[in-house]
Structure 1
Amino acid sequence: MTLRGTLSRTAAACLGAVALAAGLGLATGPAHAGPGTDARWHLPGWEPKDTGSDARLRGLSAVSRHVAWTSGSGGTVLRTTDGGRSWRDVSPPGTGALEFRDIEALGRRSAVVLSIGPGEDSRIYRTDDAGATWTETFRNDHPDAFYDCVTFFAGGRHGLALSDPVDGRFRILSTSDGGRSWQVLPDDGMPPAQPGDAAFAASGQCLVSAGRSDAWFATGGGATARVLHSADRGRTWTAAESGIPAGDPARGVFALAFRDARHGLAVGGDYRPGSPSPDAAARTADGGATWTGARTPPPAYRSGVTWLPHSRSVALAVGPTGSDVTFDAGRSWHGFDSGSYDTVDCSADLGCWAAGERGRVARLE
């Protein structure tokens, strides 16, 4: 691609971010509002897309405004290439008993999907032909392991998968060939787990990465809800308290999002319907070493969170009782939709998608 083409694509993406931020109600100054601009912006709503599925879709990977993958219960994997107008069932054969809680697109036609559960229920599959065929690349053989999430670093060759604690420490699986093979990493660089510690396989966002070497995972269930950070692709980890309430198997940090190696968001709470979830959001500006609670957190449990691309301050959070947006990098959150969604993801061209129960998928318009 020529330099002019690269600059044009970058400029278009940045202008698109400004426009979407304006639509979200962010634009307030001359940098965002030109002559004749109507300043009476409205908060967005999700535009539902009929998937034809009744699966609960907790895995989601946005490739673009047109292409997205989602996965969930009953071994379900769905893919769209036309902005959600139609969906193709590309589920791996013979997996109807599995729960695909995380999916990561590695290109327009390549993806890795993770199923959760004890023992052999935890598996990883990869496709390179848009889901026409799948290869099982990992099947857990440890009875105490329970894998929850998978992530890939920039470039798509290196990735990690996270299991709940085995012998008192969280277990990390690693790949260096795009998910075609996996190895369990030594646990000597992993801090001990707290009693009751676990990760939540609620949205495919309990383990996330930024750049080529930084990764984070979130915990709950123990005395404190922690976020653990690795700067060396999962070999060594440091733990920090998030400030989000825990101390119960249903409470903790459920999802993380990092826009770079330093700036991150955490959301969670208590997933039981009707249970209060105070202080259920936090932010960091030092790579997860310290966390600060949101001044105005979401009003209830949230299971998914993502940054708006090309923005330093706008992000979205979703949960079974509604969606929220922040305009100030997680200091305060504002509700904009009451629909039920479990996970959310945005692509570089501002294709923001959400997915959840009963086959619900929507795109932000």
Structure 2
Amino acid sequence: MKARSLLVSMVIGVASIQLSAAWANEGFRDVLDTPAAMTELASRQLITGLAMAGKRIVGVGRRGHIVYSDDDGATWRQSRVPVSSDLNAVSFPSPRVGWAVGHDGVVLRTSDGGESWERKLDARMAQDSLALASSSGAESDPAVAPDLSFLGVWFETEEQGFVVGAFNQILRTVDGGGSWESWSDRAENPEAFHLYAIRAIGEELYVSGEYGLVMKLDRQVGRFRQLDTGHGGTFFGVTGSPGHVVAYGLRGHIMRSTDGGASWRKVDTGLSTSLVADGMTPSGDVLLLSSDGQVVVSRDNGERFAVVPGSGPVPNAASILPLNDGKSFVVGSGRGLSQQVLR
């Protein structure tokens, strides 16, 4: 398989995968050995993932920066993080326990609602403890192992969950990150396309990726089955509610299924810029964020979307999180974190 650059880097402006072996400058310190720098500007930099930890907002981003807010985004505090690798996604299965993932194979865990984090995996640890297998039928590529980068994370409980990423990497833990098992060979992704997101919708678990790839977990056989979306463009995320699945991505494309992924139809948004993140309000409205900061909302389970007045433009928009009041949301972009009103 020929190595491909990560499309997500083009869309949200995240730096390319950091390869510690490529650095030879005297005095260089590996990002895996360097804690994230403490700075008052942490919340003003690119935040690529947002999640609720109970009533607390937690955001993760570049150079290992993690921030949190207990007042709906009015003020932010910075977390203690043991690495300075770029982080991409965050998930909280409970108010206290959460998980964050990023480049260099980094997987972090918090047990205090995001105030401090511990390393549960990185690329060096993975090479020592895992057989990083290519998916079934794919040609082996020696560049895959150094390019271990995680782009999505989902945990069903505090102890059990999945991380997904570049080159069809899927890892699962059932013991809170004490050990990891590769599920790459349990995914119907023979070309080893990059996997950008993993999300539970009702009782079903979905993964989205390059070239129209959407997979759903077949729990009976323990395998991710590929779904035919009828679309060949990259999907950066999947969201929805039971009975209503929405996959979104490159150039504003949205595909929707109401039968568990058996069939799909295109939903027009009028946008030509890529959709890169999603969020759902307490009432079930679906918000999608474009890379230039425009937000579209659906109040009918993804059947129709309309642009939210006043949203955008901002550079390198990357994350969105509706607040519990149902009237506002937070956006992470190249200008940092900002709160907007949902009209």
Render the CA deviation track for 1:199-253: whole Å, top value 9, x for unaligned: 34xxxxx111235x63211111xxx41101103299301112334443xxxxx11
Q: 1:181 is paired with a residue of what secondary structure?
A: coil
Q: Tell me the residue number matched to 1:344.
A: 320
**Preserved contact between residue 53 and residue 113 of structure 2 (Cα < 8 Å):** no
Matches of 1:320 and 1:354, distance apart in 2: 11
**Preserved contact between residue 267 and residue 302 of structure 1 (Cα < 8 Å):** yes
Q: Tell me the residue number matched to 1:37.
A: none
Q: Does 1:122 align with 2:94?
A: no
Q: Does 1:198 align with 2:194?
A: yes
Q: 1:355 is paired with a residue of what secondary structure?
A: strand
Q: Tell me the residue number matched to 2:47.
A: 57
TM-score normalised by L of structure 2: 0.72
Counterpart among 255, 277, 286 of residue 282 in structure 1: 255
Q: 1:113 is paired with a residue of what secondary structure?
A: strand
Q: What are the equivalent positions in structure 2 for 1:231-310 lying under 5 Å apart? A: 231-232=218-219, 235-246=222-233, 252-260=234-242, 262-269=243-250, 277=251, 280-310=253-283
User: For the structure 1 residues 359 and 187, does the alpha-carbon distance in structure 2 shift closer, same or farther, using more than 3 Å as the test?
Assistant: closer
User: For the structure 1 residues 132 and 268, does the alpha-carbon distance in structure 2 shift closer, same or farther, using more than 3 Å as the test?
Assistant: closer
**Preserved contact between residue 61 and residue 345 of structure 1 (Cα < 8 Å):** yes
Matches of 1:304 and 1:60, distance apart in 2: 10
Q: How many angstroms does 1:172 deviate by?
A: 1.6
Q: How many angstroms does 1:62 deviate by?
A: 2.2
Q: How many angstroms does 1:108 deviate by?
A: 3.0
User: For the structure 1 residues 357 and 160, does the alpha-carbon distance in structure 2 shift closer, same or farther, using more than 3 Å as the test?
Assistant: same
User: For the structure 1 residues 52 and 256, does the alpha-carbon distance in structure 2 shift closer, same or farther, using more than 3 Å as the test?
Assistant: same
Matches of 1:164 and 1:347, distance apart in 2: 30
Q: Tell me the residue number matched to 1:8.
A: none
More relative contact order, 1 or 2 (CA 8 Å, 6+ apart): 1
**Preserved contact between residue 151 and residue 159 of structure 1 (Cα < 8 Å):** yes
Render the CA deviation track for 1:19-66: whole Å, top value 9, x for unaligned: xxxxxxxxxxxxxxxxxxxxxxxxxxxxxxx976332111110245x5
Give unpaired runs (5+ residues) of structure 1: 1-49, 201-205, 247-251, 270-276
**Preserved contact between residue 166 and residue 194 of structure 2 (Cα < 8 Å):** yes
Letter in 2 for 1:256: V
Letter in 2 for 1:289: A
User: For the structure 1 residues 181 and 297, does the alpha-carbon distance in structure 2 shift closer, same or farther, using more than 3 Å as the test?
Assistant: farther
Q: Tell me the residue number matched to 2:331.
A: 354
User: For the structure 1 residues 242 and 92, does the alpha-carbon distance in structure 2 shift closer, same or farther, using more than 3 Å as the test?
Assistant: same
Number of residue equivalences: 277
Q: How many angstroms does 1:359 deviate by?
A: 1.5
Q: How many angstroms does 1:145 deviate by?
A: 3.3
**Preserved contact between residue 188 and residue 224 of structure 2 (Cα < 8 Å):** yes
Q: What are the equivalent positions in structure 2 for 1:35-54 lying under 5 Å apart? A: 53-54=43-44
Of all paired residues, the percent bearing the same amino acid is 18
Q: Does 1:139 align with 2:122?
A: yes
Q: Does 1:69 align with 2:58?
A: yes
Q: How many angstroms does 1:81 deviate by?
A: 0.7
Letter in 2 for 1:225: G
Q: How many angstroms does 1:194 deviate by?
A: 2.8
Q: Does 1:315 align with 2:313?
A: no
User: For the structure 1 residues 234 and 183, does the alpha-carbon distance in structure 2 shift closer, same or farther, using more than 3 Å as the test?
Assistant: farther
**Preserved contact between residue 306 and residue 345 of structure 1 (Cα < 8 Å):** yes
Q: 2:43 is paired with a residue of what secondary structure?
A: coil
Q: How many angstroms does 1:362 deviate by?
A: 2.0
**Preserved contact between residue 185 and residue 235 of structure 1 (Cα < 8 Å):** no
Q: Does 1:88 align with 2:77?
A: yes
Q: Tell me the residue number matched to 1:113.
A: 100
User: For the structure 1 residues 283 and 307, does the alpha-carbon distance in structure 2 shift closer, same or farther, using more than 3 Å as the test?
Assistant: farther
Matches of 2:278 and 2:87, distance apart in 1: 19
Please provide the CA RMSD for this pair.
2.7
Matches of 1:362 and 1:152, distance apart in 2: 27
Counterpart among 168, 171, 177 of residue 169 in structure 2: 171
Q: 2:237 is paired with a residue of what secondary structure?
A: strand
User: For the structure 1 residues 345 and 233, does the alpha-carbon distance in structure 2 shift closer, same or farther, using more than 3 Å as the test?
Assistant: farther
Q: How many angstroms does 1:132 deviate by?
A: 4.2
**Preserved contact between residue 199 and residue 218 of structure 1 (Cα < 8 Å):** yes
Q: How many angstroms does 1:338 deviate by?
A: 2.0
User: For the structure 1 residues 309 and 58, does the alpha-carbon distance in structure 2 shift closer, same or farther, using more than 3 Å as the test?
Assistant: same
Render the CA deviation track for 1:48-91: whole Å, top value 9, x for unaligned: xx976332111110245x52000100110000011112111004
